[in-house]
């Protein structure tokens, strides 16, 4: 049986919605549109989607506020679009739970590659039933939850993906390029400081267990720990 994934495109620019829709439908996705954040919220209350492509600069309700409100109702992956490429915007986006960030003007083909990667990462078959314990750090992969000294902590989707990948490849040296390729899920064109930024966020989330994430100078990182038997 062929599974048709459903995408919601939210942008106040008609031409951008039209272009993204054409490419998405060509790739076999079902597409709906919303012209602003308020309309998007009303739509997701009634319908389910596999992914939302969400512009930041919109009238009535901006993309950041829209994303936070959407996440209150449903846990739908979000790719954020923005005409600005400032690191602050990217960091804030990841902190509120977006899965990816694309700067305008963008290549529709690259956007579709990112859509495919985000949907693949969030598909049920990718959620393997595994549980890892390292001292007081517990990582429940199936439940996508992390506990630090028995207290559940809140992390962004990308922090979780990065942590799971590091743990899955524990005690192996991982370059920044390898992390970008496997965690972000596409050929990343840009600054590899993206990895450093997310490692910093992840370390802050893990508190005392940040010690398990070892920096390999000039190369990348490694999750260095022995799992509880």
Q: What is the pLDDT of residues 74-121, one digit of tens each?
A: 889 999 998 876 777 778 888 888 888 888 888 899 899 889 888 877
The pLDDT of residue 189 is 52
Average pLDDT over residues 212-221: 92
The pLDDT of residue 126 is 53
Q: What is the pLDDT of residues 43-60, one digit of tens each?
A: 999 999 999 999 999 988
Buried b (16+ CB within 10 A) or exposed e, 30-69: ebbbbbbbbbbbebbeeeebbbbbbbbebeebebbbbbee
The pLDDT of residue 158 is 86
> Which of the following CATH numbers is that of domain 128-223: 1.10.443.10, 3.40.50.970, 3.40.190.10, 1.10.10.10?
1.10.10.10
The pLDDT of residue 193 is 79
Q: How much of the chain exceeds pLDDT 90, in percent?
A: 48
Q: Can you tell me the distance from the alpha carbon of 22 to that of 24, in angstroms, rounded to the nearest whole number? A: 6
Average pLDDT over residues 193-211: 92
Q: What is the pLDDT of residues 30-43, one digit of tens each?
A: 999 999 999 999 99
Which two structure tokens, joined as six digits, stand for 96?
A: 């509120």
Average pLDDT over residues 152-165: 90
Q: Do 6-124 and 128-223 fold alike per CATH? A: no
Q: Can you tell me the distance from the alpha carbon of 148 to that of 166, in angstroms, rounded to the nearest whole number? A: 17
Average pLDDT over residues 205-212: 94
> Which of the following CATH numbers is that of domain 6-124: 3.90.1640.10, 3.40.50.1820, 3.40.605.10, 3.40.50.2300?
3.40.50.2300
The pLDDT of residue 229 is 53
Tell me which residue of 23, 35, 24 sits closest to 60, measured CA to CA: 35
The mean of the pLDDT values for the chain is 86
Average pLDDT over residues 163-169: 90
Q: How confident is the model at residue 1 (pLDDT cuts 50, 70, 90)?
A: very low
Whether 185 shows a pLDDT value over 90: the answer reads no
Tell me which residue of 219, 211, 223, 115 sits closest to 162, measured CA to CA: 223
State the pTM of this model.
0.61
Domain ranges of the chain: 6-124, 128-223
Whether 71 shows a pLDDT value over 50: the answer reads yes
Q: What is the pLDDT of residues 132-143, one digit of tens each?
A: 899 999 998 877
| Highest-confidence segment of 102-111, 170-179, 196-205 | 196-205
């Amino acid at each position: 049986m062929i599974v048709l994934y459903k995408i919601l495109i939210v942008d106040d620019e008609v031409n951008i919605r039209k272009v993204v829709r054409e490419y998405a439908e060509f790739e076999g996705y079902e597409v709906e549109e919303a012209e602003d954040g308020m309309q998007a919220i009303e739509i997701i209350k009634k319908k389910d989607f596999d992914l939302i492509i969400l512009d930041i600069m919109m009238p009535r309700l901006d993309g950041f506020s829209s994303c936070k409100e959407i996440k209150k109702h449903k846990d739908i992956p979000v790719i954020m679009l923005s005409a600005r490429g400032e690191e602050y915007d990217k960091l804030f986006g990841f902190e509120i739970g977006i899965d990816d960030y694309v700067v305008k003007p963008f290549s529709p083909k690259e956007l579709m590659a990112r859509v495919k990667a985000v949907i693949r990462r969030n598909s049920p078959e990718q959620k393997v039933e595994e549980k890892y314990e390292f001292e007081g750090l517990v990582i429940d992969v199936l439940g996508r939850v992390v506990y630090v000294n028995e207290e559940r902590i809140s992390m962004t989707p990308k922090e979780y993906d990065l942590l799971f990948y590091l743990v899955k490849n524990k005690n192996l040296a991982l370059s920044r390029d390898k992390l970008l390729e496997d965690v972000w899920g596409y050929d990343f064109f840009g600054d590899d400081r993206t990895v450093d930024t997310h490692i910093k966020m992840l370390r802050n989330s893990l508190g005392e267990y940040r010690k398990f994430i070892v920096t390999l100078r000039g190369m990348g990182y490694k999750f260095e720990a022995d799992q509880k038997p």
